[in-house]
Amino acid sequence: MTDKILPGGRVIQPLSTPKTEPQPKAPEKKGDSFQKVLEQKLKGKEIRFSRHAAERMMNRSIELNNQDLKRLDDAVQKAAEKGAKESLVVMGDNAYVVSVKNNTVITALDGSSMRENVFTNIDSAIIMD
């Protein structure tokens, strides 16, 4: 490539690209299914609660035991597998709006708060017993 000369005699030279060494590829493991890879990526990512959700749960006396947390986490993983971004998870008398991408509960509602409520900015719903 040749240098370009601008009016006034200024010369523009092409930028040189820094030489980088090629990044080694991760070894391909034959037989790894998408499901297995997804589970490995999601493993260790526990569901979190935003400050807003924690306040709502405290104000509405919503408590979750370990089994409830596991069920909520499983619901979020199912939503992620389907490509959901923001989900409504209904578990018994309570509902949770969850950011699937961030693995975070955004808000929590009890049965009386859910009545005649409109849920916006969600792209999926999971109804559990």
Of 39 and 109, the one with more pLDDT: 109
Could you report the per-residue pLDDT of 47-69, keeping only the tens digit for each?
Answer: 999 999 999 999 999 999 999 99
CA atoms within 13 A on the CB side of 104: 9
* Confidence at residue 115, expressed as pLDDT on a 0 to 100 scale: 83
In CATH, the number for domain 46-129 is 3.30.2310
Cα maximum dimension of the chain: 77
Q: Is 109 helix (H, G, I), strand (E, B) or coil?
A: strand
Measured distance CA(67)–CA(34) in Å, rounded: 27
Q: How far is CA 84 from CA 52, 125, 129, in A?
A: 21, 9, 20
Task: Give the pLDDT band of residue 17 (cuts 50, 70, 90).
Answer: low
* Confidence at residue 19, expressed as pLDDT on a 0 to 100 scale: 60
* Confidence at residue 73, expressed as pLDDT on a 0 to 100 scale: 93
Alpha helices (runs of H) in the chain, residue ranges in sequence order: 34-42, 51-59, 66-81, 111-114
pTM, rounded to two decimals: 0.65
Q: Which two tokens stand for residue 24?
A: 């080694």
Of 121 and 21, the one with more pLDDT: 121
Measured distance CA(37)–CA(41) in Å, rounded: 6
Could you report the per-residue pLDDT of 77-129, keeping only the tens digit for each?
Answer: 999 999 999 999 999 999 999 999 999 999 999 988 888 788 889 999 999 97
* Confidence at residue 21, expressed as pLDDT on a 0 to 100 scale: 63
Pairing mode of beta strands 48-49, 104-109: parallel
